[in-house]
Amino acid sequence: MRSLLELILSIRLKSFKSNTCTSGFTLIELLVAMVMAALIITPLMTFMIDILQTDRKEAAKSDTEQEMQTAYDYIARDLQQALYIYDADGITRDYNSTTPTLSGIRRQIPPEKPAPGCNDAATCQPILVFWKREFRPGSVNVVSTTDKNDGFAYSLVAYYLVTNPANATNSTWSPSARIGRFQIKGPINIAGANTTGDDAADVGFNRPPLDSSISGAKLKEKMNQWQAGTGTYAQPVVTLVDYVYNFPGTTTNSFQACAAPRAVGSHTSGFYACVDADEVVAQVFLRGNSYVRLYNKNNIAYNPSDNNSSYFPAVSGRIQGRGFLFTK
């Protein structure tokens, strides 16, 4: 009987000891688990990072492409009102009273005649410069001051390729280039013009040289003799679009070049035009830079044979000026 009790008691004690033991993982088991987790999680994290980076790049390309198209559409609508477009002869020559056929308006417009945002020829280059007749609703009194009609006034418009100086730090604009727009408006030159139609001319405005006293057998010869009015331009060069391609020193063609004097600007840049002044037609080329949008660095040049050329979206088109001259 005693032996039986001792046996039962020893079994109970062994059972109690086994139940009170603390179970857990060994160090080797933990190390194995960590290695397995790393092998599984690392590829997943790499995959997710690649997806996010790809999405970011595609968004940058899409935004840049859309902005270039929107800027082109705006310029096209503006240029369709043109009654005269200056080619390289008009933009790069100075006024010449001795030989009018060699005259130009270079010193009559920014940056040679400075305006806010465009006072340095090294960073602000005119590409499209043209005259248009601008619609002014309610600008003419018909019978009384309460009866009004619509009028038109001449305006000089210029689009510029504006770049940042080398190594310049600018928190507002990208380190590549942008397109800026400048405009000076003339008065409603008709009897009954009122202040409602903004009949006062902007400082520096002067009418196009269309009088019979201006020498020149062609319209181009007359328009190239335009001289600005007195005073300093107060109208700024306003940015139309940023992230425009411009890589200093590159010789890679961004666009197909046209012959002088039609070529205005550089065909290796992101804003270039081929102008037929006699026909009032301009072929306009724009190219953006998605890399600058992504990394805020202008350190990659466009190469048409590169797989990354899609990061430099371009848009171009031929635009006919449909304005008309009113010489009375």
Query: What are the angstrom distances between the C-alpha of 52 and each of 47, 243, 260?
Result: 9, 22, 47
Across the range 109-120, mean pLDDT stands at 96
Mean per-residue pLDDT of the chain: 85
DSSP-derived secondary structure for 161-225: EEEPPTT---SSS-SSEEEEEEEEE----STTB-GGGT-SPPTT----S-STTS--SSHHHHHTT
Fill in the DSSP letter of residue 260: T
CA–CA distance, 98 with 108 (Å, rounded to integer): 17
Identify whether 92 is part of a domain.
Answer: yes
CA distance 41 to 25: 21
Confidence bin at 328 (pLDDT 50/70/90): very low
Asked whether residue 7 is assigned to any structural domain, the reply reads no
3-state secondary structure of 158: strand
Query: Where residue 288 falls among pLDDT bands split at 50, 70, 90?
Result: very high
Higher pLDDT, 149 or 84: 84
What would the mean pLDDT of 23-35 be, rounded to a whole number? 76
In a domain, 120, yes or no: yes
pLDDT bin (cut points 50, 70, 90) of residue 9 is low
Q: Which range in 10-24, 114-128, 178-192 is most confidently predicted, on average pLDDT?
A: 114-128
Per DSSP, the three-state class of 324 is coil
| Structural domain contains residue 37 | no
Instruction: Indicate whether 183 belongs to any domain.
Output: yes
Residue 22 located in a structural domain: no
Q: Assess if residue 325 is contained within a domain.
A: no
pLDDT in tens, 47-78: 677 676 767 788 989 999 999 999 999 999 99
Query: What is the pLDDT, as a whole number, of residue 58?
Result: 87
Domain holding 64, by residue range, is: 54-320
- Predicted local distance difference test score (pLDDT) of residue 19: 52
pLDDT band at 45 (very low <50, low <70, confident <90, very high): confident
- The answer as to whether 191 is a domain residue is yes
Phi, psi of 233 (to 5 degrees): -60, 130
Percent of the chain with pLDDT strictly greater than 90: 55
pLDDT at residue 325 greater than cutoff 50 = yes
Domain total for the chain? 1
For the ranges 13-17, 88-92, 297-301, the one whose mean pLDDT is highest? 88-92
Q: How far apart are CA 264 and CA 129, in angstroms?
A: 10
> pLDDT per residue over 256-274, tens digit each?
999 999 999 999 999 999 9
